[in-house]
Chains A and B, each alone.
Chain A
Amino acid sequence: MESFQLELHPERGPIYISLFKNVKNAVELRQRLLDQDASLAWALVNASLVVNTFQILLAINKAIHKEVTGKLKTHKINSEIVYDFSSTNNISQSLRRYGVSDDSTALIAIAIGGNPGDIEKAMQADIHGELVPLSSIPEFSDIKLIRKYYQLNDNNISDNIDELMPLIAGAMALKEIK
């Protein structure tokens, strides 16, 4: 697990991000989300649609910025984070794509504020998988799917992350901008 600070909203406390691989209980986790189980206190993101830590932080930053300015589109900050990964305004589709699905095996768990020791323990109790460093995110990225969902299918755009990331960032930032 790694911790980060948001420059725009440091008052919301540190951000904790963990990457789990070989997750065995995605079905259970998804069911708990559907049941609105409040004890599952993390935002859970499908790691195959993520290219790096910066993308995760952009989504969190946007969600928290909206929370602070009273503009959440979904019920909770955790669902808003998942929603803000998406470039479309369709909430249920966004949560389906970027959240946990029954066949997810690589998941990113995000927590806002709290004690790092407690959070790491609680995350590991909830998510039955192997905790790996965020630097291994690229091993799980599905570039083809990422290009499809972020509508970056032009042939002149390469698969290079350095080229894709600014476009992903733009697509995420421009959502909800009329």
Chain B
Amino acid sequence: MIDSAVLIKQGAEARVYELKPFLTNPNGCIVKERFSKTYRHPVLDKQLTHRRVSQEARCLFRCRKAGIDTPALYLVDPEAATIYMERILGRILKDIIIEGKADTDVLADAIGAALAKMHDVDVVHGDLTTSNLMLRDNNASLVIIDFGLSYVSKLPEDKAVDLYVLERAFSSTHPQTEALFERILTSYKTHCKQAKPTLSKLEEVRLRGRKRSMLG
């Protein structure tokens, strides 16, 4: 990694650095580097990492093109398993909700609308949490980040699980926010072209959990 890059987060799949400045942009950029998993066969590992990097970049762009606010892509290097992207100046939703000063109804409507748009272009995020949603400082636009587990799917099942993951994230990180999540779903319903099959699947998913039963 470049000397001036500062490590800001280390996850299970990747390390995230901040590089300031970047090509005259004083806000710099975010460098996300997936690291290799030593427990995997090197050939397989390379192939998987390569594929996931390009998948993440493509999903990011697909959403951006559909009018969802996501970080802009600057450079994608699948060989080095690295994505250079826009550094969002803002705060994660988790902190905003915990602080409790923001108008949560406005937030919920924005979240529902953004998720609806995302599912309408068949992008399933795969890791929706309040840490992966941000609000920009300058215009309070809702940004979806971290498409590391995202993929393209038309199945209502996958979209329903996406919503279910967010619901669980809400109930575990923000107790007593059932009404807020309901409002997100209401907004989702009004904005999403194919909300019905997804929401009825959600009922099913709630009963059985994220994993599909393989019995019978």
Contact = CB atoms under 8 A, between A and B. Distances in A.
A36 interface: no
Interface stretch (B75-83, B152-160, B161-169): B75-83
Given A58-B74, A165-B72, A166-B64, A174 B57 contact: yes
Interface string A144-170: 000000001010110000000111011
A159 B15 CA distance: 35
Contact of B86 (A152, A157, A166, A171): A166
A50 B41 CA distance: 44
Contact of B67 (A61, A156, A170): A156
Interface stretch (A3-11, A23-31, A40-48, A90-98): A3-11
Interface residues of A, number: 27
Nearest to A62: B75
B75 A170 contact: no
Most buried by A among B57, B75, B78: B75
B133 to A, nearest CB: 18
Interface residues of B, number: 27
B57 A173 contact: yes
A159 to B, nearest CB: 15
Contacts, number: 70
A58 B24 contact: no
Contacts of A6: 23
B73 interface: yes
Nearest to B80: A69
A169 B22 contact: no
A53 interface: yes
A7 B57 contact: no
A178 B54 contact: yes
B19 A170 contact: no
B60 interface: yes
A157 B65 CA distance: 8
Interface of B: 2, 4, 19, 21-25, 54, 57-58, 60-61, 64-65, 67, 72-80, 84, 86
Interface of A: 4, 6-8, 53-54, 57-58, 61-62, 65, 69, 71, 152, 154, 156-157, 165-167, 169-171, 173-174, 177-178
Closest 6 interchain pairs by CB?
A166-B72, A173-B73, A57-B23, A170-B61, A170-B73, A177-B54
Given A173-B84, A174-B58, 17 more contacts: A6-B23, A7-B23, A8-B75, A54-B25, A57-B23, A58-B74, A61-B75, A154-B65, A157-B65, A165-B72, A169-B72, A170-B60, A170-B65, A170-B72, A170-B73, A173-B76, A177-B78
